[in-house]
Structure 1
Amino acid sequence: MGDNRWTDELLDGLRQRGDPLADETVKNLFRQGQVETANALLKQLIRNDQLVPETLPGLLREYLVRTEALPSWADPERMRQGEALFGRYGPQAVVSLFCGALPASYAAAQGVQVLHLTARLATDPYRRIMETAQMLVDVLAPGGLAPGGNGVRSAQKVRLMHGAVRHLILESGQWNPAWGHPINQEDLAGTLSAFSYAVVVGMEKLGCTLSQREQDAYFHCWRVVGHVMGLEPAALPEDMADCAALAAVIQRRHFRACPEGQEHTRALIQMAEHVTPGDLFDGLAASLMRHILGDDVCEMLKVPPADWTRHLIGPLALWGRTSDELGDRSRAVAKLAEVFGRKLVEGMMWMNRGAGRPPFRIPATLRESWHVEGREPR
């Protein structure tokens, strides 16, 4: 794929389109009086990690059936390879999400306006971040993308929530059309790039050595999720190189300093410090953001300057590369996770996401692989 595939003309068109299937489902729910308010729908979706068809209105059951099928090109073996990679490097993937992919998405000044207007971070700074991390685990845990797997259900839920948020924002009268359509196809493609390409880049900067085959398998998992979540074929990157080209164009088109992106980045850093024990890791999230994203993007986001913890990053990355060369990947994962990733994951497992919401869940197989301790999933 050449870089010129992602032209401004193509992306300008994608920026004006949402997701007709999810949007129509949400409109019909309100039209038929099956959901009294937007808040009632959102609460129902947030409080139930698994959308159980028997307990939902007929329109939602129909939506689940229409959106659960994987694409014909989904490759079970490549998805298993992506799961295996996550089994080895899950804590680094979580750190890469927190300190690379998520803050980079906040730098997109138009796309971040949706987060600002829904005010979910403002009312509960940690809830949305926890739900995002939970989706990462749901998709890449063993069997997550099998028929009826947690990853498929999570993607279906998020897709419908996007439809509800679009409805709520457009009805509010607070949306600026200059930002494009709320949660549009370009922003969805950018989010897919963040979960796949950006996470892999961050993992490599944390010292993980990933073969091209492993990178492609990891990306394939997220490409399948993109399909389930309603990305149009034109908005769906073909492979890792195509995704990298998309990420570069989105950065050129949208990365700007804005108060909303800075607010969400600040909440992200505060959560990382809140869930890790004591004050030993304070400052490490900001240092890692600067290590992964570079100073230019971090200045846009007003990430604090890297402190003494920056001196930990080089030795940790070196340990990861050296251990991989020796073939001892599990030791590399455990060692890196001991410093930050494992404690971050454990902290999220012990946190309560809020009244009526299940705790952060990690399957036993992954907890054992990552050497993390926490509450049993329910």
Structure 2
Amino acid sequence: MRVPAMKWTDELLDPLRKTGDPLADAAIEEIYALGRQEQVREALLVLEGNSDAVPDGLPPKLEEYFTRSAVLPEWADTRLTAQGQGLLGRYQGHITTTLLCGSLPLCYSCGDGAQVLHRSTRLTQGVFRRLMETAQFVVDVLEAGSLGPGARGVRTAQKIRLLHATMRYHLSREEDWDASWGVPVNQEDLAATLMTFSVVIPRGLSRLGVELTAQDRDAFFHIWRIIGHVLGVDVKINPSAFDDGAALLDAVVRRQQRPSEAGTLLTKGVLDFIREVLPTPLFAGVGPTLIRHLAGDETADIVSVPPADLTQLALAAQSPLSFGYGKAGDTVPLLAKASNELGLAVFKQGLRLTNKGRRYQWQVPTGLTPTT
């Protein structure tokens, strides 16, 4: 179902801030009503590879959830999926960096949605792990063959959808949750987050000098539209065309973008993560510079990103410790080189070394834990 771009109005989007995900919410509520949250968590750990069969003996509504959410839409196109997944091998570094320095800061700049993301660190193991899980999610979705029945990309999306429902269950019951923020992980925020993958990543590649063909861009968008379906994004706001998705993202940003302490703290986590992955002092300017290049100065200012430092980045390019960045006087190749090396470092040092060579697994928590 396609909604024309000009119809992303306040009248359409306002009610979606009060809407969650009935299928996943019913499953989580039943688990807690039965007091089986720990048993279910352990059962779901059986899905260690994210592609194994769903274990037996789950509560009825959770079994129903896994059955229904695994059914791909009839419009899913395997040819487009294969074409879009081929982009990971060609642009892995740039895709990862655009996620970190473009997609995430844009999410964090939306003040109400940032409240959920900040508080949800109590549902996982801190900012660092959350960033690595997100990067792993992109890999799971974009690996060849990952969107078949019960395949890794589908299983990962199903787990994340349950995590979202768990966040709604707990956060909506907190005394200090402000109803003006909307339902936690509401439909508008879900759709906007989906667009930060399907729209922001192609836009970011363009900013880094990689101009996708229309066919590649549309194939990439199609993959994330399928994932949106698995994640429970309402069909009304899961657009079928890139231009409609771009218009939706721009409309939500217009409505939701504002400074917040939560957004600033989340972005600081990204900058700290980049400094940990690229610890050499000469590369201290990489994070702020790439965020301002990929997310834009307006967004960067909202989440309190320091000024860009192309001079420092250029000095790093001339250092014997550099990763071989481009000419100092040619800023787009310079930033493209920095982007590629950062993205590759995330995979080499982040996804592998920081987890003892094992892949990061999305887990459904049983409750809130204190903020660290």
TM-score normalized by the length of structure 1: 0.83
The 5 Å alignment of 1:284-303 reads 284-303=286-305
Matched, 1:95 2:94: no
Q: What does residue 366 of structure 2 align with?
A: none
CA distance in 2 between partners of 1:56 and 1:309 (Å):
58
> Can you give the 5+ residue segments of structure 1 that lack an aligned partner in the other structure?
321-331, 362-378
Q: What does residue 177 of structure 1 align with?
A: 179
The 5 Å alignment of 1:133-172 reads 133-172=135-174
Match of 1:24 among 19, 23, 26: 26
CA distance in 2 between partners of 1:129 and 1:196 (Å):
18
Q: How many residues align?
A: 344
Match of 1:254 among 252, 256, 260: 256
Q: What does residue 58 of structure 2 align with?
A: 57
Cα deviations across residues 253-275 of structure 1 (Å, max 9, x unaligned)?
01111111000000011101102
The 5 Å alignment of 1:28-43 reads 28-36=30-38, 41=41
Deviates more, 1:239-248 or 1:58-67: 58-67
Q: CA deviation at 1:249?
A: 0.7
CA distance in 2 between partners of 1:47 and 1:294 (Å):
39
Match of 2:247 among 242, 245, 248: 245
CA contact (8 A) 1:207 1:319 kept: no
Deviates more, 1:265-274 or 1:47-56: 47-56
> Can you give the 5+ residue segments of structure 2 that lack an aligned partner in the other structure?
315-324, 362-372
Q: CA deviation at 1:62?
A: 3.2
Taking every aligned residue pair, what percent have the same amino acid on both sides?
37
CA distance in 2 between partners of 1:163 and 1:121 (Å):
12
Q: What does residue 110 of structure 1 align with?
A: 112
CA distance in 2 between partners of 1:58 and 1:96 (Å):
39
Q: CA deviation at 1:2?
A: 4.4
Q: Are residues 180 and 31 of structure 1, via their aligned partners in 2, closer, same or farther at CA, if it must alter by over 3 Å?
A: same
Q: What does residue 359 of structure 1 align with?
A: 359
Deviates more, 1:219-228 or 1:125-134: 125-134
CA contact (8 A) 1:118 1:165 kept: yes
CA contact (8 A) 2:136 2:359 kept: no
CA contact (8 A) 1:41 1:164 kept: no
Matched, 1:6 2:8: yes
Q: Are residues 117 and 286 of structure 1, via their aligned partners in 2, closer, same or farther at CA, if it must alter by over 3 Å?
A: same
Deviates more, 1:125-134 or 1:51-60: 51-60
CA distance in 1 between partners of 2:244 and 2:13 (Å):
14
CA distance in 1 between partners of 2:109 and 2:165 (Å):
23
Cα deviations across residues 51-86 of structure 1 (Å, max 9, x unaligned)?
651266244333211210110000000000001112
Q: Are residues 151 and 309 of structure 1, via their aligned partners in 2, closer, same or farther at CA, if it must alter by over 3 Å?
A: farther
CA contact (8 A) 1:45 1:161 kept: no
